[in-house]
Structure 1
């Protein structure tokens, strides 16, 4: 089921942006009747990308099929990156059990818990901390969209390879499967039965994946058919009901034009490098930081060597949270600090950027922050084993 949802969330999002937004805007002629997506008051998305910069979008999938929408952990976390220059895209999947430190929490936790603790905002921060890349937008999809979309298109015709019968009252929600073998049109409820059926395939999971791919192909053909133009309003309603995003309609329209030029079959798919591990009886996925850095360079920096300047951000102002804020600004521009903490003295009136042989990088950091006195101090850097130290003063 997880494999299907990973495919579905990408398909649904790209389809909705391209057809649901662009075509509906054309038909409605941008009338005032178009429902505007409500924007959140405060999220940790990065500043808009530069003209030729890749656009990184955090895709979140949540399963509230049991009706619980509060404190829900994410089932799927992926970063979709689109390059407007090359019309290429990549998807980096983040295993839900990835062991990370979540801001404001003690010790380590699973990254999928960030949403339960602090919603999309904390999920954004957790992903940015893990990968060290800017995240420009987010889209969160509730899996109930599967039911609604299948019903919106009038059902999906597939071949059911066997009689499927199964009942599990303890599943969430309870699992009731009762499908007959043969070609038939499945509505939303029967489609979910078909997709959730596990046992009975001769080659086990491979057979199930084949069935899910058959379903996706049938759904895609139905959704992308000429008759779909008459159902665009239904897709928009589904989007408004089950999808949460920080993007306005005009932003989605602009992004849709970029996405429409991308060949979905050519999207590069990767998973955060790491290994499964068990700690105190709890299953985690331990990320490999070194391999993550290599993959990030490949996916987000076109294979070029990402700047590996070692940076410390120290709060010398006494203001709470200022070091994290500065660190996030730097991360958004490709400088991921190695150390974020407090300085020995909280009475520094001015911000100072210490450097030795990294003058160009120090100047870039000053430009990002909009202030900071550049000062050469090799001894101080050696003591901290850093290339650059940003000592935050009361002027930030």
Structure 2
């Protein structure tokens, strides 16, 4: 009887050990597959950088190195609304091999041509196409408009709104953010923050206050360009917090909750995890370079609104100079 019991526990022990080894092998394989050099061998092409973009559902391209372009879109869509404008746009050139990121803010008021409609502001493209053809057509049109403007392909996009951004910041427990200017909240999302003043310097913000700060532009000396700088600082603070050594273990659960923050994206869960692994211990001072595109503000005729409004005219040569150097 004693020998039988010993054999029984040996069998159980070996079974548990076998399950453990198999589990570790599976985990090791998945971790290996998530490494950027292994994961990003093919990437989608949402827009090719010309008006003749490929079908976003079908276009894929092989890449030798994990290098691609990602567009971050911030919509002004409010709770209960089904459509919104592209209020903030940041194009990121991600070189995961070098762990370097180039980011350029795309001004919302940039004058663009929308096929079949005429000239209008970039911010209006998504709204028009959403209202006529639905949410997916709207975001794809916005991505294509940015891609055509800067003349580079866009592989991935992630769209959120201010409520989603607020929830994302709260999900990581708030962030430390450098506010480069004194800010007065003239058009807050929350009425209790009307005319609240925030001094320049480092602040700890919850999601609610970050959403307020990155929305403000009217009280800033350089308007939209100053707001772009604040959005840059908010993204730095968020990335540093989410990708810090103390938070990296929570990255999988954070990625799983992405539907709570994101309106639309063509990135899979594994895409996001691989991107996060490539940027752990993120240091914006050494890994991120930020750029802005200057233009000339004019009152011009908007073919969609059938009226004159403020539009930003950008010199194509300046865009080409920037993209050829950094993208």
- Normalised to the residue count of structure 2, the TM-score between the two structures is 0.59
Offset at residue 143 of structure 1 (A): 1.9
Could you tell me which residue of structure 1 aligns to residue 322 of structure 2? 295
Offset at residue 254 of structure 1 (A): 3.1
Pair 133,46 (structure 1): closer, same or farther in 2 beyond 3 Å: farther
* Residues 74 and 159, structure 2, Cα contact 8 Å, conserved in 1: yes
Could you tell me which residue of structure 1 aligns to residue 296 of structure 2? 275
**1:77 maps to 2:127:** no
Could you tell me which residue of structure 2 aligns to residue 60 of structure 1? 73
Could you tell me which residue of structure 2 aligns to residue 116 of structure 1? 127
* Residues 176 and 193, structure 1, Cα contact 8 Å, conserved in 2: no
Q: Structure 2 CA distance, aligned partners of 1:282 and 1:197? A: 20
Q: Structure 2 CA distance, aligned partners of 1:93 and 1:210? A: 9
Could you tell me which residue of structure 2 aligns to residue 176 of structure 1? 192
Higher RCO structure, 1 or 2 (CA under 8 Å, sep 6+): 2
Offset at residue 287 of structure 1 (A): 1.5
Could you tell me which residue of structure 2 aligns to residue 253 of structure 1? 273
Offset at residue 51 of structure 1 (A): 0.9
Q: How many residues align?
A: 257
Pair 44,230 (structure 1): closer, same or farther in 2 beyond 3 Å: closer
Q: Structure 2 CA distance, aligned partners of 1:138 and 1:191? A: 22
* Residues 112 and 120, structure 2, Cα contact 8 Å, conserved in 1: yes
Offset at residue 121 of structure 1 (A): 1.1
* Structure 1: gaps (5+ residues): 1-24, 31-38, 301-396
Q: Structure 1 CA distance, aligned partners of 2:274 and 2:247? A: 21
Q: Structure 1 CA distance, aligned partners of 2:318 and 2:219? A: 38
* Residues 165 and 177, structure 1, Cα contact 8 Å, conserved in 2: no
Pair 44,110 (structure 1): closer, same or farther in 2 beyond 3 Å: farther
Offset at residue 283 of structure 1 (A): 0.5
**1:240 maps to 2:259:** yes
* Residues 45 and 136, structure 1, Cα contact 8 Å, conserved in 2: no
Q: Structure 1 CA distance, aligned partners of 2:89 and 2:154? A: 13
* Residues 103 and 122, structure 1, Cα contact 8 Å, conserved in 2: no
Offset at residue 282 of structure 1 (A): 0.6
Q: Indicate the RMSD between aligned Cα atoms, in angstroms.
A: 4.7
* Residues 44 and 121, structure 1, Cα contact 8 Å, conserved in 2: no
Which stretch of the first structure deviates more once superposed, 109-118 or 141-150? 141-150
SS across alignment from 1:48: strand
Pair 140,215 (structure 1): closer, same or farther in 2 beyond 3 Å: closer
* Structure 2: gaps (5+ residues): 1-25, 32-43, 47-54, 130-137, 302-307
* Residues 159 and 184, structure 1, Cα contact 8 Å, conserved in 2: yes
How big is each residue's C-alpha offset from its partner over 1:156-190, in whole Å with a ceiling of 9 and x where there is no partner? 68999xxx998x7xx57453128899999765445
Could you tell me which residue of structure 1 aligns to residue 110 of structure 2? 98
SS across alignment from 1:268: strand
Offset at residue 247 of structure 1 (A): 1.7
How big is each residue's C-alpha offset from its partner over 1:94-126, in whole Å with a ceiling of 9 and x where there is no partner? 111111111332x21111222112311111221
Offset at residue 298 of structure 1 (A): 1.0
SS across alignment from 2:192: strand
* Residues 48 and 136, structure 1, Cα contact 8 Å, conserved in 2: no
Pair 191,90 (structure 1): closer, same or farther in 2 beyond 3 Å: closer
How big is each residue's C-alpha offset from its partner over 1:202-224, in whole Å with a ceiling of 9 and x where there is no partner? x999x999999998787666545
Matches within 5 A, 1:1-396: 43=56, 47-52=60-65, 54-64=67-77, 66-105=78-117, 107-118=118-129, 119-155=138-174, 171=187, 173-177=189-193, 187-189=206-208, 192=211, 223=242, 228=247, 232=251, 235-236=254-255, 238-243=257-262, 244-260=264-280, 263-266=283-286, 267-280=288-301, 281-300=308-327
Pair 209,258 (structure 1): closer, same or farther in 2 beyond 3 Å: closer
Q: Structure 2 CA distance, aligned partners of 1:195 and 1:224? A: 21
Bigger helix fraction: 2
* Residues 98 and 285, structure 1, Cα contact 8 Å, conserved in 2: yes
Q: Structure 2 CA distance, aligned partners of 1:264 and 1:137? A: 21
Q: Structure 1 CA distance, aligned partners of 2:160 and 2:291? A: 20
Could you tell me which residue of structure 2 aligns to residue 364 of structure 1? none
Pair 57,44 (structure 1): closer, same or farther in 2 beyond 3 Å: farther
